[in-house]
Amino acid sequence: MTRRIALAFTGASGMPYGIRLLECLLAAGIKVELLYSQVAQIVARQEMDLALPARPSEVQALFAERFGAAEAQLAVYGREEWFAPLASGSNPPDAMVICPCTMGTLAAIAAGLSSNLIERAADVCLKERRTLVLVPRETPFSTLHLENMLKLSRMGVVILPPSPGFYTHPKSVQDMVDFVVARVLDQLAVPNTLMPRWGDETRESDA
């Protein structure tokens, strides 16, 4: 059975991580349910010169063509689409990643809020004991940020700040992006060769 993974883009800096993660998940044959906030559209344009359309159907067509997604492999939902499958515990995804994740979204999840589909999908993953990975891009962390992350960690949420390692001797920004994306894929148990493993000098360019 094809795995379903929900992926959400929010308005934190770090959109290249999210886009690369989407590419790798689709390349691995995962069925992806994509969500994105309005501020994520601004960040995508600012960081990548990428215009994300307001209509989910147009975003779906954009990424399906860009990454060669198989038919029905990618589904994109709006923030208020409450009839989306991942809004209910009766049809949860196998896992969810919010990448990048704003501290506001992180705080809302920690407080149990479900004011939009991104927050509700995360809440569903929590209550159904599904893997939830948050990639918070903020520095420095305030005491409140740290308390919220600790609260979520105690619930089993994976807090994965995008902190690239340099022991792999990255030669480009893409190498540093791939380092972080590889760590996210590892948490999802999605095989990849984006970066060399400790003690392994080999490296491939794609997942």
Q: What is the dihedral of CA 100, 105, 106, 111, to 10 degrees?
A: -170
pTM of the model: 0.94
List the binding residues for dimethylallyl phosphate: 167, 183
List the binding residues for FMN: 11-13, 37, 102-105, 137
List the binding residues: 11-13, 37, 102-105, 137, 167, 183
Beta strands in the chain (DSSP E): 4-9, 31-36, 74-77, 95-101, 131-136, 158-159
Which of 115-124, 148-157, 189-198 shows the lowest per-residue confidence on average (mean pLDDT)? 189-198
Q: Which CATH superfamily is domain 4-187 in?
A: Flavin prenyltransferase-like (3.40.50.1950)
Q: What is the separation, in whole angstroms, between the first and last Cα of the chain?
A: 20
pLDDT of residue 142: 98
| 155-174: b (≥16 Cβ within 10 Å) or e | eebbbbbbebeeebebeeee
In this predicted model, what pLDDT tens digit does every residue of 61-71 receive, in sequence order? Answer: 999 999 999 99
In this predicted model, what pLDDT tens digit does every residue of 14-44 receive, in sequence order? Answer: 999 999 999 999 999 999 999 999 999 999 9
Label residue 1 by pLDDT band (50, 70, 90): low
**Cis peptide upstream of residue 100 (ω within 30 degrees of 0):** yes
pLDDT of residue 203: 47
**Rounded distance, CA 60 to CA 35, Å?**
10
**Rounded distance, CA 163 to CA 183, Å?**
10
